[in-house]
């Protein structure tokens, strides 16, 4: 037992106040370290130092973002639908009197760069556990991905790995992947973005809390054994021990997940919740036991006592700080009434899962952790979870803002002849960001459970919640780093407006938002300026739209050297649809149906895909956002879905009208005869990326009704032509024809071909 002699206990810490500690190596600033000493009235033990360094890190404490994220709470519209909001594991919104849904998007960017497959897989696993922790059954996943240039050699390593990881975890755990987005831009070369979303459904009565309340209640660790996964920075505390024991030299901060264990976790947790056996629950994510113990204790009303040697371990010789910092996957922490503890352990065992009582809730107000009878942690839990440092970091508007704004894409040379425009349509359809993404999405199961109503490539994923009533939800996940680079406030609102519109296009009514904010280093005042502007844009936008931000996460330090990624707020919008049988799909309806455009096309090319693909250009001012218009549009679309007066609808975004037509034709197998409005400049009309526009297909006989519905709301509608099964591809009258084969040859099979597969 000699290995326990060296353990740094509270007693040792009191006796050796001057011992030098590696706080700087653990990422703590000197004043932060001094504050820890003040809080404790002594130097921290190794385990305490590890816990503070983790909980006070940017990732866990939101120390740079917190002052700005307050805006969400201040501006969030009040809605009786919101059952749990920011600060919980995931936001929960009511669907009706009985059921609620919970959803959240979270980043797993850095791990996915280091080890793409496992990084992305554990990203999916982590977000699923957030959903379980709210008392919900996970029912679907989605992902928003950004990579470097598609022809960069490292993209061929990162992208297939990430896609493999998402597919592996989601498919094995048995959740449909119902959509998302994939973009390429050199700014993400060393910092790919992997943002994973999960959504779950629960009876409102099953909503769970993370509170460790009730003195005497038992703390149970459920799920996988604890190993040396992702110990990362904390390993500096153990460097001597490691070299002595002759372990592998590298201690990678990579975790490997096991989706089959996760599936068991889902089933066990739901069974325990239904049987009313659980007082509080928290998933173990980024900061492992450290985070789960301190957050549940801080949210509860007392303290907690844990005997750390009871934690089942996978590796030999783990020290207390290793156990506390381990990021081993597929674990949950349960707070259980002592009278019910036996039953909880028995039920977990029946599912083949480890469950171990490791501690009790106390009224001491302290989180005390013992290791073989020696106290290694004795801290006020709130000082870890809630009272971390808060920084009001310097903010400075970037110097190049004025220059960027005047460098407008509207002044770039454009194709003028019919043949040049025709070729531009095809070149755009073949470009990495606009081309068909089936190579990726075909690797995901999109229909397990049999409730997926719309998946990729529809604008939003639609899932049925209840077979009897047909009630369902629609979710879309959108971001546009290029727009946000030009103007973070507008860029964030454009992403919000697009996700909102994508949900509305299916006929659903948007009700809630989750966001994943991907930025560079918060220590760069220009990045902080981008962050502040983007958060303000989202908060203002949600206030205007009347839908609350329910949660999400912030990912800073997406930066290599001085080069930060484009500011990339990714917005998830969730909507509700009363009967999924009436959802509006992507497509072209039937022969003779009218194709029309809702909204107005302005000459807005700055930040567009055309400027990027044809000129490698990023400058100017992004398209205008009109949220009043978006609300009218959403109201119209849900009304027309209800009355079944639309055969199809498709949001116009990157690539403009040309791309929307390419997608509708390619997906539907129909042709389209289009006549642009008199006087319209064909190039602008086809490639402008003005927001607030939707391509709709109106069944024969409904044209007047739809036009009247638009006019009564003051929404511009422009008839563009008709759908026709006998037209081969796209016939743009007075300009050009593109056959279906030409469209498919340009649009399809690009991703695999570019990756050399």
Partner 1 sequence: MARVVVDVMLKSEILDPQGEAVLGALPRLGVTDVASVRIGKRVEIEFDENAQNVEEQSRVIADQLLANPVIESFTVSVERDPVEAA
Give the phi and the psi of residue 357 in degrees, each rounded to 5.
-75, 120
**Least CB distance to partner 1 at residue 248 (A):** 5
Question: In this chain, which of 58, 258, 459, 515 binds partner 1, going by CB under 8 A?
Answer: 258
Residue 232 in the binding site for partner 1 (CB under 8 A): no
Annotated binding site: 62, 104, 106-110, 129-130, 255, 283, 327-329, 515, 552-553, 555
Q: Is 438 helix (H, G, I), strand (E, B) or coil?
A: helix
Question: In this chain, which of 85, 180, 227, 455 binds partner 1, going by CB under 8 A?
Answer: 227
CB nearer partner 1, residue 5 or residue 250? 250
CB nearer partner 1, residue 155 or residue 668? 155
Annotated binding site for ATP: 62, 104, 515, 552
Residues 6+ apart with CB under 8 A from 610: 409, 424, 428, 655, 656, 687
- Contact (Cβ atoms closer than 8 angstroms) between residue 240 and residue 102: no
Sign of the Cα torsion 72, 77, 78, 81 reads negative
Give the phi and the psi of residue 226 in degrees, each rounded to 5.
-95, 125
**Which of 514, 542, 465 lies closest to 103, judged by CA?**
514
**Least CB distance to partner 1 at residue 259 (A):** 8
CB nearer partner 1, residue 260 or residue 733? 260
What is the rounded CA–CA span in Å between residue 605 and residue 517? 25
Cα angle 296, 299, 300 (rounded to 5 degrees) comes to: 85
**Least CB distance to partner 1 at residue 252 (A):** 6
Residue 143 in the binding site for partner 1 (CB under 8 A): no
- List binders of partner 1 among 629-668 (CB under 8 A): none
CB nearer partner 1, residue 203 or residue 232? 232
Total residue length of the chain: 757
Residue 248 in the binding site for partner 1 (CB under 8 A): yes
Residue 251 in the binding site for partner 1 (CB under 8 A): yes
Which part of the chain contacts partner 1 (CB under 8 A), choosing from 258-266, 358-366, 540-548, 681-689? 258-266
- Contact (Cβ atoms closer than 8 angstroms) between residue 353 and residue 251: no
**Least CB distance to partner 1 at residue 350 (A):** 14
Cα angle 117, 435, 637 (rounded to 5 degrees) comes to: 100
Each as own residue / partner, the long-range contacts of residues 386-391 (CB below 8 Å, 24 or more positions apart, any chain) are: 386/298, 388/55, 388/56, 388/60, 388/61, 388/63, 389/29, 389/32, 389/35, 389/56, 389/61, 389/63, 390/63, 390/66, 390/67, 391/63, 391/64, 391/67, 391/522
Residue 629's H or E segment, with its range, is helix 627-642
Annotated binding site for Mg(2+): 106, 130, 283, 553
Residue 255 in the binding site for partner 1 (CB under 8 A): yes
Sign of the Cα torsion 743, 749, 750, 751 reads positive
Which part of the chain contacts partner 1 (CB under 8 A), choosing from 186-194, 227-235, 433-441, 468-476? 227-235
> Read out DSSP for 475-490?
EEEE--HHHHHH-HHH
What is the rounded CA–CA span in Å between residue 60 and residue 287? 8
**Least CB distance to partner 1 at residue 241 (A):** 13
First to last CA, the chain: 54
Residue 138 in the binding site for partner 1 (CB under 8 A): no
- List binders of partner 1 among 296-335 (CB under 8 A): 314-315, 328-329
Residue 755 in the binding site for partner 1 (CB under 8 A): no
Cα angle 256, 259, 265 (rounded to 5 degrees) comes to: 115
E strand map for 398-539: 452-454, 461-464, 472-478, 509-518
Number of residues that bind partner 1 (CB under 8 A): 24
Which part of the chain contacts partner 1 (CB under 8 A), choosing from 194-202, 225-233, 268-276, 289-297? 225-233
- List binders of partner 1 among 329-388 (CB under 8 A): 329, 352
CB nearer partner 1, residue 221 or residue 706? 221
For strand 331-336 and strand 280-283, is the pairing parallel, antiparallel, or unpaired?
antiparallel
CB nearer partner 1, residue 97 or residue 249? 249
Which part of the chain contacts partner 1 (CB under 8 A), choosing from 210-218, 254-262, 407-415, 665-673? 254-262
- Contact (Cβ atoms closer than 8 angstroms) between residue 504 and residue 638: yes
**Least CB distance to partner 1 at residue 255 (A):** 7
Q: Is 198 helix (H, G, I), strand (E, B) or coil?
A: strand
Question: In this chain, which of 85, 91, 257, 479 binds partner 1, going by CB under 8 A?
Answer: 257
CB nearer partner 1, residue 322 or residue 689? 322
What is the rounded CA–CA span in Å between residue 436 and residue 116? 22
What is the rounded CA–CA span in Å between residue 104 and residue 550? 8
**Least CB distance to partner 1 at residue 111 (A):** 10
Question: In this chain, which of 203, 232, 233, 252 binds partner 1, going by CB under 8 A?
Answer: 252
CB nearer partner 1, residue 328 or residue 518? 328
Which part of the chain contacts partner 1 (CB under 8 A), choosing from 226-234, 358-366, 376-384, 402-410? 226-234
- List binders of partner 1 among 81-110 (CB under 8 A): none
CB nearer partner 1, residue 82 or residue 128? 128
What is the rounded CA–CA span in Å between residue 551 and residue 85? 6
- Contact (Cβ atoms closer than 8 angstroms) between residue 185 and residue 324: no
- List binders of partner 1 among 107-126 (CB under 8 A): 114-115, 118
- List binders of partner 1 among 474-513 (CB under 8 A): none
CB nearer partner 1, residue 12 or residue 315? 315
- Helix 66-75 vs helix 525-545: angle between axes, to the nearest 10 degrees? 10
What is the rounded CA–CA span in Å between residue 624 and residue 618? 16
Question: In this chain, which of 25, 32, 96, 247 binds partner 1, going by CB under 8 A?
Answer: 247
Q: Is 404 helix (H, G, I), strand (E, B) or coil?
A: helix
**Least CB distance to partner 1 at residue 228 (A):** 4
CB nearer partner 1, residue 316 or residue 562? 316
Q: Tell me the per-residue interface mask from 173 to 212 with partner 1, x by CB under 8 A, - otherwise.
A: ----------------------------------------
Question: In this chain, which of 39, 256, 313, 412 binds partner 1, going by CB under 8 A?
Answer: 256
Question: In this chain, which of 130, 229, 283, 593 binds partner 1, going by CB under 8 A?
Answer: 229
Strands of the 177-184 sheet, one edge to the other: 82-84, 91-94, 99-107, 193-203, 137-147, 177-184
**Least CB distance to partner 1 at residue 104 (A):** 24
**Least CB distance to partner 1 at residue 493 (A):** 39
Annotated binding site for substrate: 107-110, 129, 255, 327-329, 555
> Read out DSSP for 125-144?
HHHHHHHHHTTPEEEEEEEE
**Least CB distance to partner 1 at residue 79 (A):** 42
Bridge partner residues of 721 (DSSP): 595, 674
Question: In this chain, which of 153, 250, 373, 712 binds partner 1, going by CB under 8 A?
Answer: 250
Active-site residues, by number, are: 59, 108
Contact residues for partner 1, defined by CB under 8 A: 114-115, 118, 224, 227-229, 247-248, 250-252, 254-258, 260-261, 314-315, 328-329, 352
């Amino acid at each position: 037992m000699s290995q326990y002699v060296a353990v740094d206990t509270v007693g040792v810490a009191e006796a050796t106040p001057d011992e030098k500690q590696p706080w700087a190596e653990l990422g703590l600033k000197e004043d932060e370290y001094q504050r820890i000493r003040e809080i404790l009235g002594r130097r921290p033990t190794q385990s305490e130092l590890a816990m503070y360094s983790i909980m006070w890190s940017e990732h866990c404490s939101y120390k740079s973002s917190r002052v700005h994220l307050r805006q969400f709470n201040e501006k969030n519209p009040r809605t009786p639908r919101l059952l749990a909001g920011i600060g919980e594991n995931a936001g929960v919104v009511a669907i009706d009197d009985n059921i609620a849904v919970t959803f959240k998007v979270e980043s797993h960017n850095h791990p996915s760069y280091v080890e793409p497959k496992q990084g992305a897989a554990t990203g999916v696993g982590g977000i699923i556990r957030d959903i379980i922790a709210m008392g919900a059954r996970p029912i679907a996943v989605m992902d928003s991905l950004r990579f470097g240039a598609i022809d960069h050699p490292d993209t061929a390593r990162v992208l297939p790995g990430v896609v493999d990881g998402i597919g592996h975890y989601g498919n094995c755990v048995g959740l449909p992947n119902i959509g998302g987005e994939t973009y390429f831009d050199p700014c993400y070369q060393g910092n790919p973005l992997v943002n994973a979303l999960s959504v779950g459904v629960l009876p409102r009565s099953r909503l769970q809390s993370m509170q460790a309340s009730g003195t005497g209640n038992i703390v149970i660790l459920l799920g996988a054994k604890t190993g040396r996964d992702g110990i990362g920075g904390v390993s500096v505390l153990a460097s001597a021990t490691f070299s002595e024991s002759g372990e592998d030299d590298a201690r990678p901060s990579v975790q490997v997940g096991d989706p089959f264990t996760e599936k068991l976790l889902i089933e066990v947790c739901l069974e325990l919740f239904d049987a009313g056996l659980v007082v509080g629950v928290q998933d173990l994510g980024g900061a492992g036991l450290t985070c789960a113990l301190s957050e549940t204790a801080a949210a509860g009303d007392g303290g907690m006592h844990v005997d750390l040697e009871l934690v089942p371990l996978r590796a030999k010789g783990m020290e207390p700080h290793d156990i506390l910092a381990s990021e081993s996957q597929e674990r949950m922490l349960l707070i259980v009434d002592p009278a019910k503890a036996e039953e909880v352990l028995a039920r977990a065992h029946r599912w083949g899962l480890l469950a171990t009582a490791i501690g009790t809730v106390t009224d001491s107000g302290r989180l005390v952790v013992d290791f073989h009878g020696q106290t290694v942690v004795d801290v006020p839990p709130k000082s870890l979870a809630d009272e971390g440092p808060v920084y009001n970091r310097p903010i400075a508007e970037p110097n190049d803002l004025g220059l960027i704004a005047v460098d407008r894409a509207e002044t770039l040379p454009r194709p003028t002849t019919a043949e040049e425009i025709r070729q531009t349509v095809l070149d755009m359809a073949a470009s990495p960001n606009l081309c068909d993404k089936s190579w990726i999405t075909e690797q995901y199961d999109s229909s397990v459970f049999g409730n997926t109503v719309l998946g990729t490539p529809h604008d939003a994923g639609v899932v049925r919640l209840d077979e009897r009533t047909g009630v369902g939800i629609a979710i879309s996940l959108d971001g546009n780093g290029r727009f946000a680079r030009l103007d973070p406030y507008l860029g964030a609102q454009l992403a919000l407006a697009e996700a909102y519109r994508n949900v509305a296009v299916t006929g659903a009514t948007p009700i809630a938002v989750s966001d994943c904010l991907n930025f560079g280093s918060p220590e760069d005042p220009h990045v902080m300026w981008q962050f502040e502007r983007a958060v303000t844009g989202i908060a203002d936008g949600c206030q205007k739209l009347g839908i609350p931000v329910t949660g999400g996460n912030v990912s800073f330090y997406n930066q290599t050297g001085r080069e930060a990624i484009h500011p990339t707020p990714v917005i998830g919008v969730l909507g509700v649809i009363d009967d999924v049988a009436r959802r509006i799909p992507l497509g072209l309806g039937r022969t003779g149906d009218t194709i029309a455009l809702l909204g107005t096309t302005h000459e807005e090319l700055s930040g567009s895909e055309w400027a990027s693909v044809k000129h490698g250009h990023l400058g100017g001012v992004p398209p205008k956002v009109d949220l009043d218009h978006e609300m009218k549009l959403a109201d119209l679309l849900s009304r027309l879905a209800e009355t079944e007066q639309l055969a199809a609808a498709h949001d116009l975004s990157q690539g403009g009208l040309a791309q929307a037509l390419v997608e509708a034709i390619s997906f539907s197998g129909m042709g389209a005869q289009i006549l642009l409005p008199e006087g319209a400049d064909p190039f602008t009309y086809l490639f402008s990326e003005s927001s607030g526009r939707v391509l709709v297909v109106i069944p024969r006989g409904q044209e007047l009704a739809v036009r009247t519905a638009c006019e009564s709301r003051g929404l511009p509608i422009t008839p563009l032509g008709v759908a026709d099964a006998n037209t081969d591809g796209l016939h743009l009258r007075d300009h050009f024809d593109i056959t279906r084969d030409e469209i498919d040859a340009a649009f399809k099979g690009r991703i695999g071909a570019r990756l050399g597969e």
